[in-house]
Structures are given as structure tokens and as C-alpha cells.
Amino acid sequence: MVLKPDNYLEKLYDEYADLLYRIALTHSLNQHDAMDAVQDVFLKFVSIDKTFTDEEHQKAWFIRLVINRCHDLTRKNQVREYIPLDEVYDVADEESHLSPSVKEMLEGLPEKFKTVLVLHYLEGFSVEETAMILKLSVSAVKMRLARARDYIKDKHKKEEFYV
């Protein structure tokens, strides 16, 4: 076991918490689950005492883990009722929530499309970086982005039709 300074976890938290929370929020669409997912990721890190070859590797690991944790929590939520974001919106804590327009765009989007969309468009990772994080080929990421855009386009068309 490699000995790390006592404040190592705190430094890692300060570095990654906001990023992980945002990604968790886009996947769970639920502040409480997003917080749980982020907490679980850091606890997992502590419990397995992981070391990384470099910072990019480290960032990718954290991102993948929080996405997977959100998927687990989402599956659990499908069998229990949860309170939608709108009903627990805390006015004093606006900076912890997704804007309604972003939330609307992500709602209903299949997970694999949502992930590439969030990482590339919202977080600003390049296609190559997104591919590295998700352990996908560049062409697979490009394909998913294209299909995500088509999905959203179709969804808007249907909404316009029904309005």
C-alpha cells in the first residue's frame, strides 16, 4: 500500500468533485442521487487504494466510475419512486442544479448517447479525449454523437407536431 499524505483525498475532491457532480447530475437528473454517486466514487477510491499512471488516467477513472454509479442508481430508482428535481428545487442553491433547458434535452436520451453528449458538448472534452475516457474508439464516439443529435432532433420534431 502506497502511503499518501493525509490531505490527499481532500485535494482530489477539490480537483474533481465539481466535474463529477455535474456529470452525475446529467445522468441521474436528481441532486440526491448525484451526491450519492460522487460520494460513492470517492469512497471506492479510498477502499481500493488505487494508484494511477498519470492525471489523465486518473480523471478518466473517476469519470467512468461516476457514470457507472449513476447507472446503478438509475436502475434502482426504476423500482422505487423518487421526487423529481422540480419539487425539491432549492432557490438558495441554484448553482447545484441543471438548467431546465439542459435537463429537457437530456431527459429520455439513452445513456450511451447522453454520456458522449455531456462529455463532448457540455464538459468540452474533444472526441479523442471522450474516446479515451470511455475506452471507446474515436469512430464509436463520433457515431454516438451523431445518433444523439438525431435523437434530439426527432424528439423536437415530435414535440412540435404534438403542440
Q: Give the one residue of 22, 59, 69, 144 binding another protein; rule: CB under 8 A.
A: 22
What's the min distance (Å) between Cβ of 91 and another protein? 14
| Number of residues binding to another protein, judged by CB under 8 A | 34
Nearer to another protein, 65 or 98 (CB): 98
Residue 22 vs residues 50, 66, 78, 86, 142: alpha-carbon distances, Å: 23, 10, 21, 17, 22
Locus of grid cell 477502499: 47
Residue 127 interacting with another protein (CB under 8 A): no
**Nearer of residues 98 and 131 to another protein, judged by Cβ:** 98
Residues 6+ apart with CB under 8 A from 98: 25, 26, 29, 85, 106
User: Which position among 11, 46, 56, 83 is part of the footprint of another protein (CB under 8 A)?
Assistant: 46
CB 91 within 8 A of CB 126: no
Q: Which of residues 86-125 bind another protein (CB under 8 A)?
A: 93, 95-99, 101-102, 105, 117, 121-124
82 vs 121, beta carbon nearer another protein: 121
Mention every residue, 6+ apart, whose C-beta is less than 8 A from residue 57: none
d(Cα 86, Cα 65) in Å, to the nearest integer? 27
Q: Is 43 in the site for another protein (CB under 8 A)?
A: yes
Output the nine-digit C-alpha cell for 163.
403542440
Would you tell me which residues interact with another protein (CB under 8 A)? 9-10, 13, 17-18, 20-22, 25, 31, 35, 38-39, 42-43, 46-47, 49, 93, 95-99, 101-102, 105, 117, 121-124, 149, 152
